[in-house]
Amino acid sequence: MSEQVLKAAFDHFINWSTKRQQFEALLDPNVQWVEADPELGPRTYQGKPDVMAHLDEIKEHVASASLVSVDQKAQGWQVRDNMQVHGHDLHCCISDIDFDGELIKRVVHCRGHDQMGPGPCG
């Protein structure tokens, strides 16, 4: 079920103007978002309002984003996506996501780029 939640969350992010509320519904009230992407300004956001305000800001800066993979790991989930921030090159973001039940509890966004370099995910 978590894999479907993550795929839905990504779809909601891509269609932010019409699906922002659906994205918010997938978040735990005390969600933590650790922004690790240097292009977006590393910082930690705590709680739904803070995280949603950060995502509103991200959406303004993202030129394109596409989901590449969702994989279950020993502790949580890992998502790879190709993302391009305005004025920067397309890069592969690796993010770690933890759940509390079926709600997203913690996100470490873009904690690293693909091992093949900063280019898009294969």
Give me the domains of the chain, ranges plus CATH numbers: 2-113 (3.10.450.50)
**For position 116, what pLDDT does the model report?**
47
Return the closest-CA partner of residue 1 out of 35, 38, 36, 26. Answer: 26
Reported as a pLDDT band with limits 50, 70 and 90, residue 23 is: very high
CB 121 within 8 A of CB 92: yes
Supply the pTM of this predicted model: 0.89
CB 88 within 8 A of CB 73: no
pLDDT tens-digit map of 71-113: 999 889 999 999 888 888 888 889 999 999 999 999 999 886 5
CB 113 within 8 A of CB 121: no
- Looking at per-residue pLDDT, the higher value among 16 and 41 belongs to 16
Reported as a pLDDT band with limits 50, 70 and 90, residue 60 is: very high
Strand-by-strand arrangement of the 62-73 sheet: 43-46, 27-35, 103-113, 91-100, 76-85, 62-73
